[in-house]
Structure 1
Amino acid sequence: MAGGLKMGALRLLCLLQILLLLSTPLQPLQPFQLLQSLVSPIVGVSAKVTVGNQAKDDFLLKTLAIDKKKLDPSYFEKYDNLKWEGKIIAIGDIHGDMESLKLILRHANLINENDEWIAENVLLVQVGDVLDRGIYGPLIYNYLFKLQKEAPLKKSKVLLIMGNHEQLNMCGYFNYVNQKEVEIFFKNNFNYRLFHFVSTAGEYFKKLIRLPVIAKVNDILFVHAGISKQISSLSLQTIRLKTRLQIENMCKILSYDKSRDYVNREGVLWYDHVSRTAPYDEKQACAILSHVFNKYGAKHLVVGHTKQMTHEISTYCNGGLFLIDTGMSLFMNNGQPYPNYLVAENGIFKSVHLNVEVNKKSKYCDSLEIELRSPNKQSFCIHAKETLLSPPNGG
């Protein structure tokens, strides 16, 4: 109880100070340093609570007992063994590029020209890093949340995974935020953005904190960066729960669980050793992957985070590992987008690479032409390349 009161008081203090800042003229600031002045480390959180028959749950460590009654159901949503019989489409890091996202969704026939969901029996998975670098991160999340509501009407589903840039924003680290985004969506006021992403009352914090950091669909693990041997000693539910609790603790190590830092380089939002090792020492990477697969009963791992310099999806370990961060955002490539998406259906994996050219009215498009109405009305000429990545039952 004492711990809950202390956490609530801390967030309330932070909120009050943010509201005070909102009433002051915009000054140059470093948001992370600002937060450090607002928030002091939390210590002495009480862990003496009763959990009844849940005491043996694997996500309750010996040093911590969590009273489920004090946490809303979203802390315990099930993402461990989702079953999906239809097509699965996975999208990597977007980084504020709305055009690339919509070109993918249109090309994959998931949405119509009015940006409405139309696909039946399709699971769309986005593996995080929607925010930062580009301009439209907040707008993209608004749109993805809209699709989450529309998809079930067509017996489809949209699964959004948290990335490390979502974590950074919720902990007040804005070094990768595009200034144009702040000007357009947050009245040119970093403090206003701080409120929306850091305060528990903030519009985006309330939604982003509920995103799972890891999910398993059939025999496929979806996570933003990767899974280390160390972190794989925990259940998927434990990883989700502890990562969320630490983010809610301003990303500081939980005082009642000092044995692990869930948002450091070993956490699933940041761990990229397997992804970076695979191109040079595939045997070592696959050995780590095999350990993870045995632990969770999986055959495939789909991750973003590690940018592929070819701007195309890569695969290693006989179809066990798929690296889908292709650096697609036009804001990272001098205005040239590199949209790609992964398709999994009936045990077969393939990548789809879209070669995109802005198609002005004077130009002739000898391939697929897609016109977008937002965020800017523009026409694109698309040449698609499909590549088979894994045969049936591969992995």
Structure 2
Amino acid sequence: MASSRFLALLAVLIGLYFASRFELHKTLGVHERATAAFSSIFRQASTEQTPEVVIAEQNSQEAFKSATPSSPRRPFTRHIVAVGDLHGDLGNAQTVLQFSGVVDSFGNWTGDADFFVQTGDIIDRGDDTIKLFTWMESLRAQAAKVGGVVLSHLGNHEVMNAIGDWRYVYPSEIETFGSVAARQKMITTGRIGRAWAQNYTATSRLPLHPHLGPPNTPFPPPDHPVHFKKDDGEDGEEENSSYYDANEPLSHSALSFVHGGLSPTYSNLAPFPTKINALSSSLLHRLQSRPQPPPHPPSPYPGLPHGTTHEEVELYDANGPFWYRGWATDSEAKACVDVEKVLARTGTRRMIMGHTPDFTGIVSRCNGKIIIIDTGISHAYGGALSALSIHYTFTPVDNEAGEPRWIEREVVSALYVDRQEIIVDQEREVVGDFRFNEV
């Protein structure tokens, strides 16, 4: 009897090992069921257990404690890959996603990245609109099956096409749809239009650590007021420029993604990205639900629909997130002052955007707080094939005081066909207890 119970106990221990090995401990139910089973067997054997059983029970409890999701001391990693404007070029897009590790040679999701982010302007200047948007939806589904996430953004060219501004639509691209009317239907009520409405946003806030919640968790949180330190500006006036919260040291451990840019004078930055995305959704709905005007050219520019609100107009103007180019064109001195204000208000540490191409490579400004990833990937431009890679690690540190200390490290790299260039390699020590539940 004792030997059979010992074998049963051993089987449970082996199960616990494989549960921790393959991260089944992430499900609380596994923890509870395993604990209950162990306790039951141990109680049955308690009157006749051998010294070996006692030692095994003690060791297994220690091992189990170290593997449970409640343990605050396990390391965390996150890998993000972002790609800029693709403009109708499936071949170059596949090349970029393959050398950056997002897809394999067959164009399927590899699982090497936790997040793949595309910052808009998939449409126009090429003939692969249908193929590209179909592929993105396929990758989205493949990623979701293995815990990955695809974040997609509307660019100014997606919105232009929804308006009826077809200045950059090639006749050969219209032929891939069959007709003008078929193309209008596809980008309104058809599968591309539905994908835009369901899966594409104007901007994203992507936390580097799951303690801050899932992507696009609003900042500041509705139940948590934001406090700003007041810093003296150059002109002697006080400006709210840096967020602080002693109880939330990871508050700005997040990235923003957008097509054009988040202007420091844009009026709807907060709550971020909730407000901008709500406006984008409402504007897209107006455009897709109205009777489709004949495209421009050759017809007159149709403009925004009747009833468009002032905030929706502001969203689409030159200072809005689809069109803003200040982060690429402003002087370094001005950009580096202004970016601090935007980062403070959006709860992020760096802004990543496309829209303004540099055909030689990815542009980093202000120590990586501004990163512009449009490099003219499409053959229409003949620019550099590139991707941005972000590796984030959060590692526990042993210390004599027994405090929950961590090393937070972020390595940001520009990837090209033949090389990798490190843009940022920063680390800092952080103290605190943090949630590690995956999101």
- TM-score (normalised: structure 1): 0.65
Q: Which amino acid aligns with 1:252?
A: L
Counterparts in 2 of 1:181-196, with a 5 A limit?
Answer: 181-183=173-175, 185-187=176-178, 189-196=179-186
Tell me the equivalent position of 1:227. Answer: 262
Q: Of 304, 329, 344, which aligns to 1:294?
A: 344
Gaps of 5+ in 1: 1-83, 355-383
User: Do structure 1's residue 207 and structure 2's residue 195 form an aligned pair?
Assistant: yes
Tell me the equivalent position of 2:328. Answer: 275
Number of residues of Structure 1 aligned to a counterpart in Structure 2: 271
- Following TM superposition, by how much is the alpha carbon of 1:109 offset from its aligned partner in structure 2, in angstroms? 2.6
Q: 1:135 and 1:319, CA in 2 relative to 1: closer, same or farther beyond 3 A?
A: same
8 Å contact 2:81–2:113 — kept in the other structure? no
Tell me the equivalent position of 1:308. Answer: 358
Q: 1:230 and 1:257, CA in 2 relative to 1: closer, same or farther beyond 3 A?
A: farther
Tell me the equivalent position of 1:74. Answer: none
User: Do structure 1's residue 240 and structure 2's residue 277 form an aligned pair?
Assistant: yes
Counterpart Cα distance in 1 of 2:269 and 2:128: 37
Q: 1:253 and 1:262, CA in 2 relative to 1: closer, same or farther beyond 3 A?
A: farther
> 3-state DSSP class of the match of 1:128?
coil
Gaps of 5+ in 2: 1-75, 208-253, 288-302, 393-409, 429-439
Counterpart Cα distance in 2 of 1:194 and 1:244: 18
Q: 1:325 and 1:339, CA in 2 relative to 1: closer, same or farther beyond 3 A?
A: same
Q: 1:275 and 1:98, CA in 2 relative to 1: closer, same or farther beyond 3 A?
A: same
- Following TM superposition, by how much is the alpha carbon of 1:113 offset from its aligned partner in structure 2, in angstroms? 2.5
Counterpart Cα distance in 2 of 1:393 and 1:240: 31
8 Å contact 1:90–1:343 — kept in the other structure? yes
- Following TM superposition, by how much is the alpha carbon of 1:108 offset from its aligned partner in structure 2, in angstroms? 2.2
Q: Of 94, 113, 116, which aligns to 2:105?
A: 113
- Following TM superposition, by how much is the alpha carbon of 1:155 offset from its aligned partner in structure 2, in angstroms? 2.3
Counterpart Cα distance in 2 of 1:317 and 1:141: 33
Tell me the equivalent position of 2:44. Answer: none
RMSD of equivalent CA atoms: 2.0
- Following TM superposition, by how much is the alpha carbon of 1:122 offset from its aligned partner in structure 2, in angstroms? 2.1
Tell me the equivalent position of 1:165. Answer: 157
User: Do structure 1's residue 91 and structure 2's residue 141 form an aligned pair?
Assistant: no
Q: 1:256 and 1:171, CA in 2 relative to 1: closer, same or farther beyond 3 A?
A: closer
> 3-state DSSP class of the match of 1:144?
helix
Aligned residues with identical type, % of pairs: 23
Tell me the equivalent position of 1:252. Answer: 304
Counterpart Cα distance in 1 of 2:308 and 2:93: 40
State the structure with more CA Rg.
2
> 3-state DSSP class of the match of 1:246?
helix
> 3-state DSSP class of the match of 1:315?
strand
Counterparts in 2 of 1:118-129, with a 5 A limit?
Answer: 118-129=110-121
99-108 or 138-147: bigger deviation: 99-108
Q: 1:385 and 1:192, CA in 2 relative to 1: closer, same or farther beyond 3 A?
A: same
- Following TM superposition, by how much is the alpha carbon of 1:254 offset from its aligned partner in structure 2, in angstroms? 7.5
Q: Which amino acid aligns with 1:97?
A: D
Counterpart Cα distance in 2 of 1:274 and 1:338: 20
Tell me the equivalent position of 1:339. Answer: 385
Counterpart Cα distance in 1 of 2:259 and 2:316: 12
Q: Of 374, 381, 401, which aligns to 1:325?
A: 374
Counterpart Cα distance in 1 of 2:197 and 2:165: 15
> 3-state DSSP class of the match of 1:228?
coil
> 3-state DSSP class of the match of 1:94?
coil
Q: Which amino acid aligns with 2:423?
A: L
Tell me the equivalent position of 2:137. Answer: 145
| 1:358-392 alpha-carbon deviations (Å, 9 max, x no partner) | xxxxxxxxxxxxxxxxxxxxxxxxxx111110121
